[in-house]
């Protein structure tokens, strides 16, 4: 999808969930390269690669609908940032590998090459920008 199509959806979700739009954009780029019909080997769907259980949790009727996908992906990221007390690396690791792989007595990015690379690539893309915006 082109930026002219995704930017309004990203902006809306970023405003609604008080997230940096660049974070949403970086996740989409890393997850699907802005391909709305992307499906991973594990069954993740759409721009932000929602897993079926995540899509169900957020009551997504069509995970391939860019508006629903971006809204739910952003809402999930906001939830993960809350769960991991604003720690962007932990939230990203949880988005990629699942929160149960990050949780524990000392939450950490799991030792999974794909997840480590995922977190590194998105953090690098953000170049120190905050994940959340202030009210």
Closest Cα partner for 73 from 106, 15, 28? 28
The answer to whether 57 and 43 have CB atoms below 8 angstroms apart is no
Closest Cα partner for 69 from 52, 49, 53? 49
**Is 5 labeled as catalytic in the residue annotation?**
no
Catalytic residue among 31, 100, 120, 132: 31
Q: Whole-angstrom Cα distance, residue 70 to residue 12?
A: 9
Residues 6+ apart with CB under 8 A from 115: 93, 96, 97, 101, 109
Catalytic residue numbers?
Answer: 31
């Amino acid at each position: 999808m082109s930026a002219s199509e995704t930017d309004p959806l990203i902006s809306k979700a970023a405003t609604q969930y008080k997230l940096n739009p660049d974070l949403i954009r970086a996740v989409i780029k890393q997850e699907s390269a802005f391909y709305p019909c992307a499906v991973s080997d594990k069954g993740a769907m759409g721009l932000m690669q929602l897993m079926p259980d995540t899509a169900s949790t957020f009551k997504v009727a069509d995970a391939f609908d860019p508006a629903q996908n971006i809204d739910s992906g952003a809402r999930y990221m906001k939830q993960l940032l809350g769960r991991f007390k604003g720690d962007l690396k932990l939230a990203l690791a949880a988005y990629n590998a699942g929160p149960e792989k990050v949780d524990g007595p000392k939450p950490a990015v799991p030792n999974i090459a794909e997840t480590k690379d995922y977190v590194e690539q998105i953090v690098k893309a953000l170049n120190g920008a905050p994940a959340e915006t202030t009210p």
